[in-house]
């Protein structure tokens, strides 16, 4: 259903055949929250030709009131029926690109940032492919629908068989994703109680980002229908593993489709291009962190002891490394896995900066450091150079972003400025908050 060759006639025929009454035009703000404009199906043809105008001044990270007029252009390849909508009315959706009145791509549109990064790879004859692994928690709601404090729906562990209720949830989720043509490899229970993971098959990075956004909507809706609450908060429960979004990445030559990362004669199976790409991501790991791990809460996950990466390193078997090189079961293919992103990130911006960092390594032919197969924390934290560690807080990550010209350029000046401003406000709100921990720790004694 997601063919790039769809014409307006094809789409109108599908809308008529499926008796679609309404169309949702979707896009994201800088934070990665999905925004939506609903139009009657009768307006679809006009929207495909000239777009739909909207006021961007109230969208997070978009525009000031004086420059608020912009319009949405539906991407025909993203047409899909929305299977979780209640009621008898059939609803379809398009993911849209945002344009300014002078018909230019809007500089604050996260999807446009990824498209620019992919174009830069295309100029080098390369295509960027990703496959995220999304972790999330399913929580039980209280009698009044409350979700605080968070209560996992079960106490199962890694790869445990699901209960009847969760088995039904999985079946509904997987069938929903199949109807949306989102390619799934597997789904399983994760380490923590109530925690699950779904792994997507490899696809072009733009489609992967679109699918990630769609999955987050689907998961929330289907969990609610099952009487559960789904959350992508990185660390919702103290003492339990956090939720990551490990991203498997590869580059292929656009002209031939051949894998640019593979070299069967190398000990790690990696080409020089792959090693330069790894070196670029390691060099910009700190600068990327505010985009890949964008919340105050993200840095409660990026701590030692829970298999989350802290050390800026790469390896094949060490799952504590920032970048891991999985053993590929496919002959002639290689991929690398970046392990610091979490599922609260904006996937368009995340993939854009990841690609920009890797391409910078290729352009400059950066050599990677030696692979670190031994867990660095087994030799003691005191022996680790602090320059080799990821930022320990959102505030530190913001500073690193401000200092990284390559990552800021990948975002573009508009997004970089708005993102830094909003994250500084978020940090200030957290930093000045008097928490329950402080009250219980200090109030009885001081």
Residue at which a domain ends, from 104, 134, 156: 104
Q: Active-site residue 135, yes or no?
A: yes
Beta-strand runs (E) in 5-153: 20-28, 34-40, 52-55, 69-74, 80-81, 90-99, 126-140
Residue matched to tokens 């008796």: 19
Cβ neighbours, 10 Å, residue 409: 15
- pLDDT band for position 330 (cuts 50, 70, 90): low
Range of the domain at 151: 116-437
Choosing from 109, 133, 210, 395, which is the catalytic residue?
Answer: 133
User: Domain check: are 169 and 278 in the same one?
Assistant: yes
User: Domain check: are 180 and 322 in the same one?
Assistant: yes
The predicted pLDDT at position 65 comes to 44
Q: Residue 110: inside a domain, yes or no? A: no
Choosing from 99, 116, 196, 246, which is the catalytic residue?
Answer: 246
Q: Residue 276: inside a domain, yes or no? A: yes
User: Domain check: are 143 and 59 in the same one?
Assistant: no
How far is it, in rounded angstroms, from Cα 262 to Cα 249?
A: 12
Residues 6+ apart with CB under 8 A from 62: 29, 30, 56, 68, 70, 106, 108, 418
- Mean pLDDT estimate for the chain: 90
Q: Residue 82: inside a domain, yes or no? A: yes
CA-wise closest residue to 308 among 355, 373, 240, 357? 240
Q: Active-site residue 301, yes or no?
A: no
Q: Residue 2: inside a domain, yes or no? A: no
User: Domain check: are 74 and 128 in the same one?
Assistant: no
Residue matched to tokens 């030799």: 379
Per the rule left: phi > 0, alpha: psi between -120 and 50, beta: everything else, 152 is: beta
Q: Active-site residue 190, yes or no?
A: yes
User: Domain check: are 54 and 179 in the same one?
Assistant: no
User: What's the sign of the alpha-carbon dihedral 8, 12, 17, 23?
Assistant: positive
Longest CA–CA span in the chain (Å) reads 73
Q: Residue 84: inside a domain, yes or no? A: yes
How far is it, in rounded angstroms, from Cα 214 to Cα 75?
A: 14
User: Domain check: are 314 and 430 in the same one?
Assistant: yes
How far is it, in rounded angstroms, from Cα 368 to Cα 280?
A: 8
Q: Is 413 exposed, middle or buried (0-12, 13-18, 19+ CB in 10 A)?
A: exposed
CA-wise closest residue to 109 among 75, 62, 50? 62
Burial readout 104-125 (b: 16 or more C-beta within 10 A, e: otherwise): ebbbbbbbbbbbbbbebbeeee
How far is it, in rounded angstroms, from Cα 435 to Cα 429?
A: 11
Residue 143 has pLDDT above 90, yes or no: no
Is the backbone peptide bond immediately before 224 cis, with ω within 30 degrees of 0? no
Q: Is 338 exposed, middle or buried (0-12, 13-18, 19+ CB in 10 A)?
A: buried
- pLDDT band for position 78 (cuts 50, 70, 90): very high
Choosing from 24, 29, 97, 135, which is the catalytic residue?
Answer: 135
User: Domain check: are 253 and 339 in the same one?
Assistant: yes
218-230 tens-digit pLDDT:
999 999 988 899 9
What are the CB-based long-range contacts (under 8 Å, 24+) for 222-227? Answer: 222/84, 222/169, 222/172, 222/173, 222/176, 223/138, 223/169, 225/84, 225/172, 226/165, 226/168, 226/169, 226/172, 227/141, 227/165
How far is it, in rounded angstroms, from Cα 339 to Cα 187?
A: 18
Q: Residue 442: inside a domain, yes or no? A: no
Q: Is 441 helix (H, G, I), strand (E, B) or coil?
A: helix
Q: Active-site residue 196, yes or no?
A: no
Choosing from 216, 248, 339, 414, which is the catalytic residue?
Answer: 339
User: Domain check: are 84 and 132 in the same one?
Assistant: no
User: Domain check: are 331 and 275 in the same one?
Assistant: yes
Residue 25 has pLDDT above 50, yes or no: yes
Q: Active-site residue 438, yes or no?
A: no
Q: Active-site residue 55, yes or no?
A: yes
How far is it, in rounded angstroms, from Cα 260 to Cα 334?
A: 8
User: Domain check: are 145 and 292 in the same one?
Assistant: yes
Per the rule left: phi > 0, alpha: psi between -120 and 50, beta: everything else, 289 is: alpha
Q: pTM for this structure?
A: 0.94
Least confident of 19-23, 57-61, 264-268: 57-61
Average pLDDT over residues 294-314: 93
Average pLDDT over residues 106-127: 97
Residue 55 has pLDDT above 60, yes or no: yes
Choosing from 225, 319, 363, 364, which is the catalytic residue?
Answer: 319
Q: Active-site residue 433, yes or no?
A: no
User: Domain check: are 347 and 368 in the same one?
Assistant: yes
Q: Active-site residue 133, yes or no?
A: yes
**Strands 20-28, 90-99: pairing kind:** parallel
What is the DSSP annotation of 131-147?
A: EEEEEEEEEE--TTS--
How far is it, in rounded angstroms, from Cα 68 to Cα 409?
A: 23
Residue at which a domain ends, from 104, 131, 151: 104
Percent above pLDDT 70 for the chain: 92
Choosing from 24, 109, 197, 360, which is the catalytic residue?
Answer: 197
* 8 Å CB contact between 275 and 369: no
Q: Residue 3: inside a domain, yes or no? A: no
Q: Residue 445: inside a domain, yes or no? A: no
How far is it, in rounded angstroms, from Cα 350 to Cα 171?
A: 29
375-413 tens-digit pLDDT:
655 544 444 555 689 999 999 999 999 999 999 999 999
Element (H, E) at 338: strand 336-338
Residue at which a domain ends, from 36, 70, 104: 104
Choosing from 190, 210, 259, 404, which is the catalytic residue?
Answer: 190
Angstrom CA distances, 166 to 56, 156, 157, 162, stand at 39, 11, 13, 6
Q: Active-site residue 263, yes or no?
A: no
Count of domains observed in the chain:
2
Percent above pLDDT 90 for the chain: 72
How far is it, in rounded angstroms, from Cα 280 to Cα 357?
A: 5
CATH number at 81 reads 3.10.20.70
Residues 6+ apart with CB under 8 A from 130: 202, 203, 205, 208, 209, 247, 248, 249, 250, 351, 354
CATH number at 197 reads 3.30.590.10
160-199 tens-digit pLDDT:
776 767 788 888 999 999 999 999 999 999 888 899 999 9
Task: Give me the phi and psi of 238, to 5 degrees please.
Answer: -60, 140
Which of the 8 DSSP states describes residue 301? H
What is the DSSP annotation of 340-409?
A: ---TTS-HHHHHHHHHHHHHHHHHTTPPPPPP--S-GGGG-GGGS-GGGB--SSHHHHHHHHHH-HHHHH
Choosing from 55, 69, 374, 405, which is the catalytic residue?
Answer: 55
User: Domain check: are 218 and 350 in the same one?
Assistant: yes
């Amino acid at each position: 259903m997601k063919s790039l060759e769809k014409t307006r006639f094809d789409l109108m025929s599908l809308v008529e055949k499926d008796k679609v009454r309404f169309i949702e035009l979707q896009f994201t703000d800088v934070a990665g929250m999905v925004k939506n404009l609903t139009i009657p199906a009768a307006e679809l043809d006009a929207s495909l030709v000239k777009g739909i105008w909207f006021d961007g001044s109230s969208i997070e990270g978009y525009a000031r009131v004086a420059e608020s007029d912009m319009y949405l252009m539906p991407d025909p390849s993203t047409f899909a029926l929305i299977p979780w909508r209640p009621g008898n009315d059939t609803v379809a959706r398009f993911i849209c690109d945002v344009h300014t009145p002078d018909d230019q791509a809007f500089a604050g549109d996260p999807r446009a940032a990824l498209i620019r990064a992919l174009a830069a790879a295309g100029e080098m004859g390369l295509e960027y492919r990703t496959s995220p692994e999304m972790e999330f928690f399913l929580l039980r709601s209280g009698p009044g629908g409350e979700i605080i404090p968070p209560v996992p729906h079960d106490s199962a562990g890694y790869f445990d068989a699901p209960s009847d209720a969760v088995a039904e949830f999985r079946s509904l989720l997987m069938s929903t994703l199949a109807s949306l043509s989102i390619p799934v490899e597997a789904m399983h229970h994760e380490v923590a109680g109530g925690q699950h993971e779904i792994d997507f098959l490899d696809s072009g990075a733009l489609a992967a980002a679109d699918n990630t956004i769609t999955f987050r909507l689907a998961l929330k809706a289907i969990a609610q229908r099952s009487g559960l609450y789904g959350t992508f908060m990185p660390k919702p429960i103290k003492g339990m593993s956090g939720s990551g979004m490990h991203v498997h990445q590869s580059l292929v030559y656009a002209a031939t489709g051949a894998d640019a990362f593979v070299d069967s004669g190398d000990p790690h199976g990696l080409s020089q291009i792959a090693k330069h790409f790894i070196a670029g991501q390691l060099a910009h790991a700190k600068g990327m962190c505010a985009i890949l791990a964008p919340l105050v809460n993200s840095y409660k996950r990026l701590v030692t002891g829970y298999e989350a990466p802290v050390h800026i390193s790469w390896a094949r078997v060490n799952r504590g490394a920032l970048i891991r090189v999985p053993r590929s079961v496919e002959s002639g293919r290689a991929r690398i896995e970046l392990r610091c992103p979490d599922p609260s990130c904006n996937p368009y911006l995340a993939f854009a900066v990841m690609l920009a960092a890797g391409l910078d390594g290729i352009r400059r032919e950066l050599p990677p450091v030696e692979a670190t197969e031994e867990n660095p924390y087994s030799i003691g934290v005191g022996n680790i150079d602090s320059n080799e560690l990821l930022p320990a807080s959102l505030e530190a990550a913001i500073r690193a972003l401000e200092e990284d010209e390559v990552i800021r350029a990948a975002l573009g000046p508009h997004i970089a400025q708005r993102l830094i401003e909003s994250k500084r406000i978020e940090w200030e709100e957290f930093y000045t908050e008097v928490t329950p921990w402080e009250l219980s720790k200090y109030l009885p004694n001081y």
